[in-house]
Amino acid sequence: MKKAQKEVRDVFGCDMTNIMGEEYWMSNKLSYLQLVIKETLRLHTPAPFLLPRENKERCKVMGYDIPLRTTVMVNAWAIARDPKYWDKPEVFWPERFEENHVDMKGAHFEMIPFGAGRKICPGMHFALATVEMALAYLLYFFDWEYSAKNGEELDMSEDFGLSIRRKTPLCLLATPST
């Protein structure tokens, strides 16, 4: 988090009004923060399964015959953690995307948090911009510390359902930056 926070503060400098400028959000200057967002969406996919689809013709996928009009669900969570596609898939490692140019727009099927094709999420660009802006504000204006209760380790286990969320609440202590 310190690396992303340093990047945000370096880009916007000490003039807090700069953070409001649209040119910063359109220029991709927060490259490390974008890597953090990408890695977060890979490791903690918001929805484990993409919207179900029905195939319009018989086909064969990886040796399996799929009959006509079969409802197919894609497990995006499992794909994003598959060691066939990712080195150390269970590790949060944003730097993996520095040289790996996998996008989230459905062109690379090893990472599809927003789906792909005609049924890709129409709000993807809005969601990514909103998350980037919110995180930049939070990292710029606050210093963050993990507030462990009774010395507990950070538990990143997930609770599965229609969407995925953490099993235990994340307690952070925010202090206004000076």
Strand segments, DSSP code E, in the chain are: 53-54, 59-61, 64-66, 71-72, 142-146, 158-159, 165-166, 172-176
What is residue 51's predicted lDDT score, i.e. its pLDDT? 86
Q: Reply yes or no on domain 1-176 having CATH 3.30.1490.20.
A: no
Q: How far apart are CA 15 and CA 123, in angstroms?
A: 31
pLDDT value for 142: 94
The binding site for heme consists of: 121
Give pLDDT < 50 ranges for the chain: none
Binding positions: 121
